[in-house]
Chain A
Amino acid sequence: MRAPILFLLLISLANGGFAQDVKKEIEKYQQMVADSSPVELFELQGEILWAKRQGPNNASLEQCDLGLGAGVLKGAYAQLPRWFKDADRVMDLEARLLHCMGTLQGRSREEASKRVFGNEDQPSEMEYLSAFVASQSRGAAMAPGQAHAKERAAYALGQKLFFFRAGPWDFSCASCHGEEGKRIRMQELPVLSSPAAARPVVATWPAYRVSNSQFKTMQWRINDCFRQMRMPEPAYTSDLTIAIATYLTVNGKGEPYRGPGTKR
Chain B
Amino acid sequence: MKRALKLGIAALLAACGSMPAVEHHFASEADLLEIQAVLKRDLRVRGSATLARLDADAVQQACNLNGNAPPEPLVKTLEAQQMAAINFPAGSLIGDWKRGESIAQSGRGMQWNDGPKDVAGGSCYNCHQLAPQEASYGTLGPSLLGFGKLRGNSAETQKYAYGRIYNSKAYNLCSQMPRLGHSGTLDEQQIKDLVALLLDPDSPVNK
Q: What residues make up the interface of A, taking CB atoms closer than 8 Å to B? A: 23, 157, 159-171, 174-176, 178-187, 189, 191, 193-194, 226-228, 230-235, 238-241, 243
User: In the bound complex, do residue B21 and residue A180 qualify as a contact, i.e. CB atoms below 8 Å apart?
Assistant: yes
User: In the bound complex, do residue A170 and residue B139 qualify as a contact, i.e. CB atoms below 8 Å apart?
Assistant: no
Contact with A along B96-127 (1 / 0, CB 8 A): 00000000000001111100000000000111
Q: A168-B185, A193-B23, A194-B23 are in contact. Are A240 and B43 (CB under 8 A)?
A: yes
B136, CB-defined interface residue at 8 Å: yes
User: In the bound complex, do residue A178 and residue B22 qualify as a contact, i.e. CB atoms below 8 Å apart?
Assistant: yes
Q: How far is the CB of A220 from chain B (nearest CB, A)?
A: 13
* Residue from B20, B38, B41, B53 within 8 A of A168 (CB atoms): B53
> Which chain A positions have C-beta within 8 A of B135?
23
Contact with A along B26-60 (1 / 0, CB 8 A): 01000110110011011111100111011010011
Q: A164-B27, A175-B176, A232-B112 are in contact. Are A185 and B138 (CB under 8 A)?
A: yes
Sample 20 A-B pairs with CB under 8 A, ordered by A number.
Answer: A160-B35, A168-B183, A169-B185, A170-B178, A174-B25, A181-B139, A183-B138, A183-B139, A183-B140, A185-B136, A194-B23, A226-B43, A227-B111, A230-B53, A230-B111, A233-B43, A233-B112, A235-B44, A240-B41, A240-B43
B64, CB-defined interface residue at 8 Å: yes
> Which chain A positions have C-beta within 8 A of B171?
none
> Which chain A positions have C-beta within 8 A of B63?
165, 170
Number of interface residues of B (CB under 8 A): 50
User: In the bound complex, do residue B137 and residue A185 qualify as a contact, i.e. CB atoms below 8 Å apart?
Assistant: yes
Contact with A along B193-206 (1 / 0, CB 8 A): 00000000000000
* Residue from A167, A168, A184 within 8 A of B127 (CB atoms): A184
Please measure, in the bound complex, the distance between the C-alpha atom of A231 and the C-alpha atom of B112, giving whole angstroms.
Answer: 8
Q: How far is the CB of A189 from chain B (nearest CB, A)?
A: 8
User: In the bound complex, do residue B43 and residue A232 qualify as a contact, i.e. CB atoms below 8 Å apart?
Assistant: yes
The 5 closest A-B pairs by CB, nearest first: A163-B25, A240-B42, A169-B178, A238-B42, A232-B43
User: In the bound complex, do residue B179 and residue A170 qualify as a contact, i.e. CB atoms below 8 Å apart?
Assistant: yes
Please measure, in the bound complex, the distance between the C-alpha atom of A79 and the C-alpha atom of B53, giving whole angstroms.
Answer: 35
Q: A161-B35, A184-B127 are in contact. Are A171 and B44 (CB under 8 A)?
A: no
> Which chain B positions have C-beta within 8 A of A187?
138
User: In the bound complex, do residue B27 and residue A170 qualify as a contact, i.e. CB atoms below 8 Å apart?
Assistant: no
Please measure, in the bound complex, the distance between the C-alpha atom of A76 and the C-alpha atom of B185, giving whole angstroms.
Answer: 45
* Residue from B41, B49, B60, B125 within 8 A of A230 (CB atoms): B49
B184, CB-defined interface residue at 8 Å: yes
Q: Which of B74-110 contact A (CB under 8 A)?
A: 109-110
> Which chain B positions have C-beta within 8 A of A186?
136
User: In the bound complex, do residue A166 and residue B53 qualify as a contact, i.e. CB atoms below 8 Å apart?
Assistant: yes
> Which chain B positions have C-beta within 8 A of A161?
35, 38
* Residue from B22, B44, B140 within 8 A of A176 (CB atoms): B140
User: Which residue from chain B places its CB closest to the CB of A228 in the assembled complex?
Assistant: B111
> Which chain B positions have C-beta within 8 A of A163?
23-25, 27, 64
Q: How far is the CB of A117 from chain B (nearest CB, A)?
A: 12
Please measure, in the bound complex, the distance between the C-alpha atom of A235 and the C-alpha atom of B42, giving whole angstroms.
Answer: 6
> Which chain B positions have C-beta within 8 A of A168?
53, 110, 178, 183-185
> Which chain A positions have C-beta within 8 A of B178?
168-171
> Which chain A positions have C-beta within 8 A of B46?
232-233
Q: A165-B63, A166-B56, A170-B59 are in contact. Are A230 and B110 (CB under 8 A)?
A: yes
User: Which residue from chain B places its CB closest to the CB of A22 in the assembled complex?
Assistant: B135
* Residue from A160, A162, A171, A234 within 8 A of B34 (CB atoms): A160
Q: A160-B35, A238-B42 are in contact. Are A165 and B136 (CB under 8 A)?
A: no
User: In the bound complex, do residue A231 and residue B25 qualify as a contact, i.e. CB atoms below 8 Å apart?
Assistant: no
> Which chain B positions have C-beta within 8 A of A232?
43-46, 49-51, 53-54, 112
